[in-house]
């Protein structure tokens, strides 16, 4: 799902910037988005500092990493702005010199992450130059909305697989499809095991060139699906898995991996982890780890 405010790129100039704007905020948190109270708030348009730019937002995606926004109580009782990344057009810069050195200027189409004191589901955002990235001039701004979180996570997964066969769940997601394409580009398609929930999703990935796609509708009830994952793990000698689902899927993955195998959890689509046997962790020396993109990037792993 992508949030798209009213957008008119021909009006993206400093002179057209209003004094106030609208943004989405979480007023009352809940376990899911449907139950949470989300509101449209009017606030002042932020002013960029010397190392910032002001961006008129074209689009902002909703990632699983956004879930915490509507599950966590706002600090101090104030509404919590929503959104981690997005895209749009620069309408003001704090310093023309600094912006020029960063390759960004008024009118530049950009992707951004790391919004200052706000969220990307806003009409305007103030973003540091360090986390603002110029996009090709012929690329529609809306197409750059998911340029950061999903692609870098796909890169992190492929990197952390360390050249070994591996399993990826929720494989028909936008991120999963990116991973299939990236694996093909990097010559890793033969070692990627994609787990999906439907025949339609399986067909989608196979059309993208995925070599190994396993159907498991529900790890709690679909024993044949879990057995199929294990069979593919054994066939390719996979040693790790990357799980965006959590819930019972994590337990199933820990079970099917060989001794000393590792399950990296990077999402909680199904809620809290279930079914992990202490025996697997204690005697089989299997590992359960978290993969969080900001922490991974902070480790200096990107060349």
Task: Give strand ranges (E) for the chain.
Answer: 2-3, 20-28, 37-44, 52-61, 80-81, 85-93, 109-113, 124-128, 132-134, 166-168, 192-196, 212-215, 240-243, 262-265, 287-290
The pLDDT assigned to 12 comes to: 35
Alpha-carbon distance of 61 to 245, in angstroms, equals 19
Alpha-carbon distance of 102 to 97, in angstroms, equals 9
Summarised one tens digit per residue, pLDDT across range 130-160 is 999 999 988 888 888 988 989 999 999 999 9
> What residues contact residue 256 under an 8 Å CB cut-off, 6+ apart?
226, 229, 230, 233
DSSP one-letter code for 15: G
Exposed / middle / buried, residue 259 (Cβ in 10 Å: 0-12, 13-18, 19+): exposed
Tokens of 132: 């603002």
The pLDDT assigned to 15 comes to: 56
Backbone angles phi, psi at 162, to 5 degrees: 50, 45
The pLDDT assigned to 142 comes to: 85
Residues of the chain with confidence (pLDDT) below 70? 1-16, 64-65, 68-69, 72-77, 300-303
Which ranges of the chain does DSSP label H, i.e. alpha helix? 67-71, 96-101, 149-160, 174-185, 199-207, 223-236, 248-256, 278-282, 293-298
């Amino acid at each position: 799902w992508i949030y798209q405010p009213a957008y008119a790129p021909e009006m993206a100039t400093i002179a057209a910037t209003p004094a106030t704007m609208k943004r989405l905020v979480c007023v009352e948190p809940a376990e899911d988005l449907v139950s949470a109270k989300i509101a449209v708030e009017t606030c002042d348009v932020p002013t960029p500092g010397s190392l910032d730019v002001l961006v008129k937002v074209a689009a902002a995606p909703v990632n699983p990493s956004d879930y915490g926004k509507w599950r966590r109580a706002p600090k101090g009782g104030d509404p919590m702005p929503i959104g981690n990344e997005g895209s749009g057009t620069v309408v003001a810069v704090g310093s023309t010199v600094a912006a020029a050195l960063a390759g960004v200027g008024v009118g530049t189409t950009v992707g951004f992450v790391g919004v200052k004191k706000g969220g990307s589901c806003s009409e305007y955002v103030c973003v540091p130059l360090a986390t603002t990235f110029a996009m090709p001039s012929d690329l529609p701004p809306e197409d750059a909305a998911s340029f950061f979180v999903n692609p870098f996570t796909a890169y992190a997964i492929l990197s952390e697989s360390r050249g070994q066969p591996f399993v990826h769940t929720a494989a028909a997601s936008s991120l999963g499809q990116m991973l299939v394409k990236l694996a093909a580009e990097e010559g890793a398609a033969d070692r990627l095991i994609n787990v999906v929930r439907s025949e339609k999703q399986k067909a989608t990935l196979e059309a993208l060139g995925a070599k190994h796609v396993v159907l498991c509708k529900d790890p709690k009830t679909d024993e044949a699906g879990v057995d199929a994952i294990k069979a593919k793990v054994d066939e390719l000698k996979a040693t790790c898995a990357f799980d965006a689902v959590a819930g019972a899927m994590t337990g199933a993955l820990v079970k099917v991996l060989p001794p000393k195998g590792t399950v990296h959890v990077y999402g909680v689509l199904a809620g809290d982890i279930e079914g992990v046997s202490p025996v697997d962790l204690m005697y089989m020396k299997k590992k359960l780890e978290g993969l969080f993109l900001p922490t991974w990037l902070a480790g200096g792993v990107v060349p």
